[in-house]
Structure 1
Amino acid sequence: MKKRIRYYLLFSLLVFFLASCSKKEVDEYYARPDNLEPPIYQQLEAQGNFTNLLTLIDLAGYKDILGKAGYWTMMAPNDDAFNAYFQAQGISDVSSIDSLTASKIVKYALIYNAFRTERLSDFQSNIGWEEDLAFRRRTAYYDGFQEKVIDGTPTIVVGSNRNNVEGGDYYISGDNNNKYVTYFTEEYMSAASLGSYDYNYFFPNSTYTGFNVMSSEVVKADIVAENGIIHEVNRVTLPPLNLDQKIEGSPNYSLFYKLLNDNLITYSFDQEATTTYQNYTQSSEDVYVKVYDPTLSFSPNNENFLKVTDNDGQSDGYTLIVPENSVLQGFIDEVLLKNYSALDKLPIYVFQDFINAHMIQAAVWPSKVTGYSNALEEDIRIDMDNDVVEAELLSNGFFYGTNKIQASNLFFSVYTSAYLDPDFTLATRLFNDGSGYREIASNIYRNYTLFLPSDEVLMGLGFDYDINRSEWVYNSPETGNEVRGSLARARIARVLYNGIVPTPNMEMNDLSGSGIIRSGDFDLPGEYIKWESNQVYAAGNEVLGNRVNILGYEDQQNGRTYYIDNILEFSEEFQGVDLAELATEAGSQYEYFYEYLKSSGLYDEASGAIDGVELGTPFTFVIPSNDAIMQAVMDGVLPGDAVTGVPNFTPANDTEREGIANFVKYHFLATRTASDDGLINGLTETLLKTEFGEKTYVNIVSAPGDLSFVDAGNRVANYIPLESNHLADRTLIHLVDNYLLYTE
C-alpha cells in the first residue's frame, strides 16, 4: 500500500510539472542535443564524398536503417573508390549497379556494433575485452537460401552454420550465417608478430598501411555518427566467398571438391529452415542443409568459426589447403589407387583423413606456417613461397591453392602399406581403433620396420572381427576355444605390436644374418624379437617351433614393410619353463642357479611358475653362471662347501631356504626388459623386498654390444653374449659372470 501511495505521489508531481510547462519548454527538454553527431546516413551526406555509396544505400533499402538510431560500424568506400570500381567493372556510373549488388556492397560494409580504431583489434570474449586478439568482425551480409541442382533436381539449399560435431547441431534456426570482414590494424599485427608480408601475401596489389580493410586502405578513421562509427576506405569490397563456395566453384580444384561431394557431403532436410523459407517466400518447397561429414575438422560453409563463444570468429578462422587438379590426380593414381581399382572402392576413412590433412582449425598466417598443425596433428608441409599458386582471404578463413598435396604421414609411411590395401583390413582396423599404433607407425620422422600379416594369414590363425557385434573374435586353432571382445582384441593387439619395430638406422633391411631387437615404440616398449637367415621370430614362435617367413616387402618414406606368412607370436608358457630348458641342456652354465631356484620354495616345477613373476609383465632374468654360483658358495652367500665351492641345493633349515630365496629374487629384475642395445639404463626394481617391505634395486648399464648389472655394493656382473638374450614371455634371460648381492 505504501508503494502505491509513493508511485501516485510521483505521478502527481510529474503531471503538475508538465501542466506548469509550456509546449515549447517540453519540446526543448526532450529535444535532440545540439552537440550530437548526425546518424550515419546524414553524416555521409555531410562529408560530401560518398554520393555513390548513398545512392546504393537508397537502392538497397538501408536509408531508414542508417538514418536513425542504431549501433554500427561502416567501412565506407568513398567516391574515388567507386570510380575505380566502375572502371574495373566496365560500367559508366552507379546507375549500372542493380539492387542485388547494391545490397551486397552496403551490407558487407556494415559491421554490427560501433568500433573506433582502438577497439577493432580487441576481442569481445565472454570474459570481457581481450586486447589485440581480433582481426575480423561479423557483417550484416549473409547468403541465405540458394537454389541449386542436386542430383539433377532443383533444390533449395542453405549452408550449415555450425561445425558438424557428432551428436551436435549443424544448423541453428535464426542464425543467418553472416559473413565476416577481415581488417589489419597495427595493434593486432604487432601483437601477433605479423607484418606487410602477411598482408601482401593475400593482397599483392595493395599497400599495407597499418589500417587496411581487405584490399583497401582506411583513409579517414573514426568519423563519429549518432548511430555508430564510419571508417572511410579507398576501395569497394564485395562479399568474398567462403571456403565451401570457393572450392565448389573453382575449376582448378574441382577434383578436390569431387572427393568431398561424392563422399563427405550430404543434404539433410530441415523442418525449421523449411518453415522459415516458406513463411518468407510463401513457397511450398522444402529446404535442405548442406552438411559436411562430422569427422572433418570444420564445415567449410560455416561462417561462425567454432562458436564456442558467440564472438570467437573475431579472433580466428579456418585454413584450407587445396591441391590443383593435376597434382591431386597424380596422387590418386600413384598412391590412393595403388591397390584399389577405383575411388569408390576406397574405405570412407581414407577420404576423411585426406581432407583433414588439408584442414587447419586456425587462420594460418603465411609467415607463421611452422607454428600450426593440421587436423591430423601434423606439421604443415607446404612451402608458402614455392608451393602456393593462389592465396585468397575468404569470409570464413584462408584459402591456399597449391601445386603440392599436404604429404600426410598416413600416405607415405609403413602404416600406408596396410591402410591403402584391402588385403590388410584387420590390421588397419586395429591400428585405427585408438590403439595408438597408427600414430606410431605413421610417424615419418622416425624409421620403422613393419611386419604385416594379411587378413588371410590372421583369419587362418583364428583372428577375425565381427562387424555385426563390433567386437574382435579369436578361435584357437589348437583347442577350438573362442574368446571375444577385449580379450580377443588384446591378443591381436599384442601380436601386431610385436611387428612394429623402431629401426632408426634401418637395422632390419638385411635379414640374412642374425640379431635381436625390441619391438614397439620408444615410449611404450614392446617385446624382443629375433631374426636369422631371412626369418623372424618372437618368444611364442620358439615355443611353437614356427618361425615367420618373408613374402615380400615395400619401402616407404619412414622404413620398410615386410609381408609375412605368420604372426610374431607371444609365449603363453611361464618364464620358468624357458629357464628350465636352458638349465637342463648338457653342460649348461644355467644349471646351478636353476637348482637353487627349485630349492627356494619360489618355483613350481610342474608349471614353470615362479612366485612374483607374472605372465605378460616385463622382466630381465640375470642368471649367474655355474662358476659365479660356486664363488657365491665360497663367499658364504649360498649353502655348500666353502672351500671347493661345490653347491648344496638342499637347504638345511628355513633360514637357509630364505637366504636362497632372497638370492634368487635379487636376480629377477621387474618391470623392464633389458638387452645389450643401450635402450634400458638405470636403477631397476628386483623381486626382493627388505624385511621392512622396501624395494631393492639393481643398476642396469647397457650400450650397443655391452650389458652389465651393478648391485647395491657396486659388484658388477657382465653378460656373456653367446649365452644371453634368450627369449621368454616379455622377458630376456641373460647369463652373467658374477653374482649379485643385496646389501644395506
Structure 2
Amino acid sequence: MKNKIISFLLFAISLLLSSCSKQEFDEYYARPDDLEDPIFQVLEARGNFTNLLQVIEKAGYKDILSKAGYWTMFAPNDQAFNNFFQENPEFSSLGDIDSVAASKIVKYALVYNAFRTDHIADFQGPLGWEPDMAYKRRTAYYTGFTREMVNGQEIVTIASNRNNDGNANYYIEGDNNNKYIPYFYEEYMQLNRLSAADYNYFFPNEPYTGFNVIDGTVITEDIIAENGVIDEVSKVSLPLQNIDQYLGGKPEYSLFKSILDNNLVSYVQNDEATQTYKTYTGNSEDVYVKVYDPALGFSPNNENYLKESDNDAQADGFTMFVPQNEALQKFIDEILLKHYSSINALPKYVFEDFVNAHMWKNTVWPSKFASSTNILEEEARFNENTDVVDPQVLSNGLFYGTNIIQKSNIFYSVYTSAYLDPDYTLMTRALNEPDGYKNIISNIGRNYTLFLMSDEVLQDLGYGYNLDRQEWTYTSPVTNTTVAGSIARARILRILYNHIVQTPNGELDDLSGTGIFRSGDNEIPGEYIKYDNNQVYAAGNEALENVVNITGYEDQENGRVYYTDNLLEFSEEPPAQDLKELAIGHDTIVLEDSPFEYFYRYLENTSIYDRGTNAIRGVDLGTKYTFLVPSNDAIRQAVEDGVLPGTETETGMEPNFNPSDIAEKEMVEKFILYHILDTRTIAADGFISGLIGTLLKDDFGEAAYIRVVNEPGSLELVDENNRSAMLIPEYSNNLADRSLIHLIDNYLLYND
C-alpha cells in the first residue's frame, strides 16, 4: 500500500513538472504578440487590396503568402485593378482573370528576398551590398516550356538560360530562367546620372516620382509583414517580355528576326529538359533549347544576364537596337547586296557582324547613347529624338525600335569593299587576322586609302588558305616551293599592309601625277610606295619589274578604295643590291656617272659588305633603314677634308676606294655606317623628325645620332658637329626592302 501511494505521488509530481515544462516551452517559442501578420493577412487588414487577394487565391498563392517566407511584393491596390480592367479589354473584370493570368500577375509581383527601401537599390554582389547599383530584381515568374512552329513542325521548346559561349553551356538544368522586374529608385538614378527624362523616355505619360515600378508608382513603401515587405503600387503588371519574345511578336521587325532565325538560331534537343518536361506533364515529347549563335554578344532569350555572379542581372541588362523592316530592306538593297545576288548568298559572318552591331552587353539609357559601346566597340549612332520610334523596358534589358540601322564601321568603311565582295574573301580573311588591320581601316572616324587584292590575283601569285588546317599557304611562282603556317601568314600580312594607307585629307584621291607615300598609319608605319599616272609600285614591284594598274575605285565613308590588277609586293633583295644598281647598274644596264657611284665604290671594298650576297653587316632583311648617300661631289669633299682616304694626284686629291691601311679601312666603315639610319624609314613627308640612331656604334653599343629636320618636301640632316646636308629630291626616294635610299648634297661627320 505504501509503495502504491509513493508511485502515485511520483506520477502526480511528474505530471506537474511536465505541465510546467510544456507551458514554458510554448511561451518561449510562441509567436510574439508584436510580430506582423504574413503578407496575405496584412493585405487583408489594410482593406484596399480586395482584388489582389482574390487574384492571389486564384493563383493558388494564398497558403504560400500566409506562411513563413522572405518576399518583396509589389502589390497593386484596388484602384490599380480598376484601371487595369478599363485599359485591358481582355480583362474587363475580375472574372476574366483565370488561374493562368492570376499566376502571372502574382508571381511577377513577387520578388525573391525581402528588400526595404534602404536596400532596394543596392546590388547583392559577391562581396556584399554595393550601394545604389541595382534597378531590377528576380521574380517568382518564369515562362518555362512553350510550343513553337519550327521549319513547319510544332515542337516543344525552352529558352536558353545562359549566353552561348560555344561550349554547350547555353542551358543549365534547374535554372528556371526567372524574369526580372525593373524599377526606378531615386538613389540609383542619381548615382548613374539619370534623370526623369530617362524614365519618361519609356513612359511619357507617367510621372517620375523617385520610386517607380515599371510604369507604376509606389504609393506606400515598406509595409512590413512576417514573411516579407510590401510596396503598394498604382499599376497591375503582367510579366514583361524579354528581347526575344518582344521581337517575335512585332511584325514591323520581321525582317531583322528572319535574319536571326535563318542564320543565327538553332534548336538543340536536350535530354535533361526532356525528362523534366515528361515529369511535369507526363508527355514524352522531346524538348529543344532555343540557342543563339555563340558569335553573338548575348542570347536575347536569356533572363540571367552574364551570370558572372549570381545576381548580376540586378545591376545590368542587355540592350538591342532593331531597325524596322523598311530601313533594313533599304540597307540590304544598297549595301549588303551590292555584290551578292540575294541575302541567302551572304556569308554567315556578315549576319553575325550586322546583328552584333545592334547589340549592347549593358543597359544603354537614353541619355547614354554616345558613351555606351556595342559588341563591335562602337557607340550608339542614333539620335534619341528622331531615330528611335519604339523604346521598351523589357525583363532582360532595353529594346529600341529604330527607323535607321546602326551605321557600323564594318558596313560603311573602306573595309566594306573587300568584306562584302565575294571576289575578295582572301583579303578579308587577312584583314580579319588578330593583328588589328580590320580595326584600323574600319574606323570611319579616320580616313584611309585601300588598294584591293582580289582572290584571283593572290592565288595566281601563290597565296592561299587551307580551310582544313586553318592556315595560310604560299607557293613561290619562281621555285614552286610551298610554305604554310606562320611563314605564309607573315608574307600575306606584310603584303596586305602595303595596301593600307592613312590619308586624312584624301591625299591619294588623285593618282594621275607622280609621288611617293607611306603605307600603314602613324601608329604602325609601313613601307613606301610610289605612283605614276595611275600606276603604283612598291620595292618588290621594282625588283620584279612590274607595276600595279588602277582599274577602278569606290568611295566609302572613310576614304577611297582602288581596284587593281596586281599586288604591291615587298622586296626580297638586300637594300645594298638596290644601292649597287643605282650606282653602277646591273647585268643588262651599266650606268656611267651615277651620283651614287663613289659611295658604293667605298662600300664594296669594306669588310662589312659581302659582294656575293650584297649584304651589309648589321643590315637585316625586313628591317627599316634609311640610306643617306652623299653625292660624288660630297664624297670628293670628304676626301679633300681627310674624312675619307684619298690619293694625291696632279689635279688634286682623288678617292682611294680600296685603301690598304687598317685605320683608313676603319675610317671608311664608320663613314658608311654613320650614313645609314637604323630602324627608321624616312622620307621628306614630315612624318619623322628628331634624333635618329645610325648603324655606327661605339664600344659600348651606343649609337651615333643624326638630327632629322623633316618637313613635307624638305629633309635636312644635321650631324654631331652641327654640319647639315639636304636631300636631293630628283635622285632620292629610291625603294628597297623596307628602306629608302636618298642622295644628299653633303657628307655627315661623326665624333670619333
Q: Same fold (TM over 0.5)?
A: yes
SS at match of 1:44: helix
Using the TM superposition, give the Cα deviation of residue 359 of structure 1 relative to its aligned residue in structure 2, in angstroms: 0.3
CA distance in 1, matches of 2:104, 2:174: 20
Q: Which residue of structure 2 lines up, in the alignment, with residue 668 of structure 1?
A: 676
Q: Which residue of structure 1 lines up, in the alignment, with residue 5 of structure 2?
A: none
Structure 2 residue corresponding to 1:595, chosen from 601, 604, 613: 601
Q: Which residue of structure 1 lines up, in the alignment, with residue 690 of structure 2?
A: 682
CA distance in 2, matches of 1:639, 1:589: 19
CA distance in 2, matches of 1:644, 1:120: 97
Using the TM superposition, give the Cα deviation of residue 644 of structure 1 relative to its aligned residue in structure 2, in angstroms: 4.2
Alpha carbons 1:388, 1:402 under 8 Å: kept: yes
- Deviation per residue, 1:565-603 (Å, 9 max, x gap): 110011111100111111123222212211221232111
State whether structure 2 residue 663 is matched by structure 1 residue 620. no
Using the TM superposition, give the Cα deviation of residue 550 of structure 1 relative to its aligned residue in structure 2, in angstroms: 1.3
Q: 1:18 to 1:575 in 2, by over 3 A?
A: farther
CA distance in 2, matches of 1:635, 1:575: 29
Q: Which residue of structure 1 lines up, in the alignment, with residue 9 of structure 2?
A: none
Deviates more, 1:76-85 or 1:620-629: 620-629
Q: Which residue of structure 2 lines up, in the alignment, with residue 650 of structure 1?
A: 658
Using the TM superposition, give the Cα deviation of residue 367 of structure 1 relative to its aligned residue in structure 2, in angstroms: 0.5
- Deviation per residue, 1:369-400 (Å, 9 max, x gap): 11111111112111111100000000000000
SS at match of 1:658: helix
Q: Which residue of structure 1 lines up, in the alignment, with residue 386 of structure 2?
A: 386
Q: Which residue of structure 2 lines up, in the alignment, with residue 203 of structure 1?
A: 203
State whether structure 2 residue 486 is matched by structure 1 residue 459. no
Using the TM superposition, give the Cα deviation of residue 23 of structure 1 relative to its aligned residue in structure 2, in angstroms: 3.6
Using the TM superposition, give the Cα deviation of residue 435 of structure 1 relative to its aligned residue in structure 2, in angstroms: 3.3
CA distance in 2, matches of 1:321, 1:720: 57
Q: Which residue of structure 1 lines up, in the alignment, with residue 300 of structure 2?
A: 300
Using the TM superposition, give the Cα deviation of residue 22 of structure 1 relative to its aligned residue in structure 2, in angstroms: 5.0
- Deviation per residue, 1:463-499 (Å, 9 max, x gap): 1222222222222222222222221222122112111
- Deviation per residue, 1:480-526 (Å, 9 max, x gap): 22222221222122112111111111111111100100111321111
Aligned ranges for residues 238-387 of structure 1 at < 5 Å? 238-387=238-387
- Deviation per residue, 1:610-645 (Å, 9 max, x gap): 111011111111112222222322332222258945
Deviates more, 1:200-209 or 1:495-504: 495-504
List runs of 5+ in structure 1 lacking aligned partners. 1-14
Alpha carbons 1:515, 1:531 under 8 Å: kept: yes
Q: 1:693 to 1:74 in 2, by over 3 A?
A: same
CA distance in 2, matches of 1:202, 1:281: 39
User: How many residues get paired?
Assistant: 730
Q: Which residue of structure 2 lines up, in the alignment, with residue 419 of structure 1?
A: 419
CA distance in 2, matches of 1:18, 1:108: 51
Q: Which residue of structure 2 lines up, in the alignment, with residue 697 of structure 1?
A: 705
SS at match of 2:646: coil
TM-score by length of structure 2 reads 0.95
Q: 1:435 to 1:17 in 2, by over 3 A?
A: farther
CA distance in 2, matches of 1:238, 1:17: 58
Deviates more, 1:118-127 or 1:463-472: 463-472
CA distance in 2, matches of 1:333, 1:16: 94
- Deviation per residue, 1:636-684 (Å, 9 max, x gap): 2222258945322222322221222112111111111111111112222
Using the TM superposition, give the Cα deviation of residue 16 of structure 1 relative to its aligned residue in structure 2, in angstroms: 12
TM-score by length of structure 1 reads 0.96
SS at match of 2:426: helix
Q: Which residue of structure 1 lines up, in the alignment, with residue 8 of structure 2?
A: none
CA distance in 1, matches of 2:17, 2:719: 102
Deviates more, 1:212-221 or 1:705-714: 705-714
Alpha carbons 1:631, 1:645 under 8 Å: kept: no
Using the TM superposition, give the Cα deviation of residue 20 of structure 1 relative to its aligned residue in structure 2, in angstroms: 6.9
CA distance in 1, matches of 2:131, 2:637: 76
Using the TM superposition, give the Cα deviation of residue 168 of structure 1 relative to its aligned residue in structure 2, in angstroms: 4.9
CA distance in 1, matches of 2:748, 2:737: 23
State whether structure 2 residue 87 is matched by structure 1 residue 52. no
Deviates more, 1:531-540 or 1:623-632: 623-632
One-letter amino acid of the counterpart of residue 601, structure 2: E
Q: Which residue of structure 2 lines up, in the alignment, with residue 726 of structure 1?
A: 734
Q: Which residue of structure 2 lines up, in the alignment, with residue 12 of structure 1?
A: none
Alpha carbons 1:200, 1:208 under 8 Å: kept: yes
Deviates more, 1:509-518 or 1:448-457: 448-457
CA distance in 2, matches of 1:50, 1:450: 69
CA distance in 1, matches of 2:327, 2:541: 46
Q: 1:24 to 1:569 in 2, by over 3 A?
A: same
One-letter amino acid of the counterpart of residue 616, structure 1: G
Deviates more, 1:240-249 or 1:590-599: 590-599
Alpha carbons 1:263, 1:351 under 8 Å: kept: yes
Deviates more, 1:105-114 or 1:642-651: 642-651
Q: Which residue of structure 1 lines up, in the alignment, with residue 588 of structure 2?
A: none
State whether structure 2 residue 108 is matched by structure 1 residue 100. no
CA distance in 1, matches of 2:723, 2:199: 68
List runs of 5+ in structure 2 lacking aligned partners. 1-13, 585-590
SS at match of 1:741: coil
SS at match of 1:182: strand
Q: Which residue of structure 2 lines up, in the alignment, with residue 220 of structure 1?
A: 220
SS at match of 1:501: strand
CA distance in 2, matches of 1:25, 1:167: 59
SS at match of 2:655: coil
Q: Which residue of structure 2 lines up, in the alignment, with residue 710 of structure 1?
A: 718
One-letter amino acid of the counterpart of residue 192, structure 2: A
- Deviation per residue, 1:320-376 (Å, 9 max, x gap): 000000110111111111111111111100000000000000000101111111111
SS at match of 2:749: coil
CA distance in 2, matches of 1:16, 1:265: 73
- Deviation per residue, 1:66-114 (Å, 9 max, x gap): 1111111111111111110011123443222111111111111111111
State whether structure 2 residue 546 is matched by structure 1 residue 520. no
One-letter amino acid of the counterpart of residue 591, structure 1: E
State whether structure 2 residue 635 is matched by structure 1 residue 636. no
One-letter amino acid of the counterpart of residue 230, structure 1: I
Using the TM superposition, give the Cα deviation of residue 148 of structure 1 relative to its aligned residue in structure 2, in angstroms: 1.1
How big is the alpha-carbon RMSD for the aligned residues of Structure 1 and Structure 2? Answer: 1.6
SS at match of 2:566: coil
Alpha carbons 1:719, 1:735 under 8 Å: kept: yes
CA distance in 2, matches of 1:83, 1:645: 112
Percent identity between matched residues is 60
One-letter amino acid of the counterpart of residue 288, structure 2: Y
Structure 2 residue corresponding to 1:736, chosen from 738, 741, 744: 744
One-letter amino acid of the counterpart of residue 611, structure 2: E
- Deviation per residue, 1:702-731 (Å, 9 max, x gap): 121111222233322221111111100000
SS at match of 1:453: coil
Alpha carbons 1:634, 1:641 under 8 Å: kept: no
Q: Which residue of structure 1 lines up, in the alignment, with residue 11 of structure 2?
A: none
SS at match of 1:434: coil
CA distance in 1, matches of 2:329, 2:644: 74
SS at match of 2:654: coil
CA distance in 1, matches of 2:295, 2:707: 48
- Deviation per residue, 1:177-207 (Å, 9 max, x gap): 0111111111010000100110001111110
Deviates more, 1:642-651 or 1:15-24: 15-24
Q: Which residue of structure 2 lines up, in the alignment, with residue 7 of structure 1?
A: none
Alpha carbons 1:18, 1:26 under 8 Å: kept: no
SS at match of 2:303: coil
Using the TM superposition, give the Cα deviation of residue 53 of structure 1 relative to its aligned residue in structure 2, in angstroms: 0.8
CA distance in 2, matches of 1:692, 1:484: 40
Deviates more, 1:17-26 or 1:285-294: 17-26
Deviates more, 1:253-262 or 1:622-631: 622-631
Q: Which residue of structure 2 lines up, in the alignment, with residue 143 of structure 1?
A: 143
SS at match of 2:552: strand
Using the TM superposition, give the Cα deviation of residue 17 of structure 1 relative to its aligned residue in structure 2, in angstroms: 12
Q: Which residue of structure 2 lines up, in the alignment, with residue 9 of structure 1?
A: none
Q: Which residue of structure 1 lines up, in the alignment, with residue 10 of structure 2?
A: none
